[in-house]
Amino acid sequence: MKQPMDHETMAMRAARELQDGNVVNLGIGIPGLASNFIPEGRSVIFHSENGVLGFGPLLDESDGDVDLINAGGQFVSAMPGMSFFSPADAFAMIRSGHIDVTIMGGLQVSERGDLANWMMPNRGIGNVGGSMDLAAGAGKIIVTMEHVTKDGQMKIVRKCSYPVTGLACVSLVITDLAVIEVTPKGLVLREVAPGYTAQDIQAVTEPKLIVAKDLKEVSL
């Protein structure tokens, strides 16, 4: 039976990419959930654009402190070793390669790893936030998104039709249906959601996929 991954499962799969000691920036939504699923035995340092490093798990609105938030406006917890600094410093860290991994949402990802995630063309106005700086400077960029739009449009495309956030910047795409790596040779299908075949994924993916020799079902 075909079973697409839910948001928590996607976040869990994304969290597996985080290595011990990584400095990590998480976007809003599914990426933020990844902070709940850091693999046992690994410790990562969370970074946020508003000027904080080393914070802990998300807090409920009722428990939160308005002076301790992440850039997505979520309340986070204090941790030993946490530090505060200015946004210019936070972005200096990003552009200079001090952030090892970022996990972001996506509207479209192209065959060569271009990312579009800051503006829906039909709205005519967009929130760029820190997305373009992360696209330009973060070490490894992982995108979590649904494989197709609500009305079935492909989101993994030959060329982005939406305004781009960064060019040739994405390393890995984790969708509800598959895990796809961006390589110099093209998009490599590494993993599929339970019950899906490579043909199923190709049918909802515009560029030609290279199927990994060891293609497997997503394991967590």
Residues that bind other proteins (rule: CB under 8 A) add up to a total of 48
- Cα separation, 55 vs 90, in Å, equals 14
Determine which residue in the list 2, 7, 42, 95 makes contact with other proteins, applying CB under 8 A.
95
Q: How far is the CB of 28 from other proteins (least distance, A)?
A: 7
Q: Is 54 a residue that touches other proteins (CB under 8 A)?
A: no
Q: Is 100 a residue that touches other proteins (CB under 8 A)?
A: no
Residue 80 makes CB contacts below 8 A (sequence gap 6+) with none
The answer to whether residue 49 is catalytic is yes
Tokens 């820190």: give the residue. 130
Q: Is 30 a residue that touches other proteins (CB under 8 A)?
A: no
- Cα separation, 184 vs 178, in Å, equals 19
Determine which residue in the list 94, 103, 193, 209 makes contact with other proteins, applying CB under 8 A.
94
- Cα separation, 139 vs 152, in Å, equals 31
Closer by beta carbon to other proteins, 127 or else 199: 127
Q: Is 45 a residue that touches other proteins (CB under 8 A)?
A: no
- Tell me the C-alpha to C-alpha distance, in Å, between residue 174 and each of 31, 58, 59, 122, 182: 10, 22, 26, 25, 11
Question: Which of 17, 49, 111, 191 is the catalytic position?
Answer: 49
Q: How far is the CB of 57 from other proteins (least distance, A)?
A: 16
Mask for 136-175, x = binds other proteins (CB under 8 A): xx-------------------------xxxxx--------
Determine which residue in the list 19, 86, 149, 183 makes contact with other proteins, applying CB under 8 A.
86
User: Rule CB under 8 A: which of 191-210 touch other proteins?
Assistant: none
Closer by beta carbon to other proteins, 130 or else 207: 130
**Residues taking part in catalysis:** 49
The residue ranges that bind other proteins (CB under 8 A) are: 28, 48-52, 61-62, 64-71, 73-75, 84-88, 90-92, 94-95, 120, 123, 125-133, 135-137, 163-167
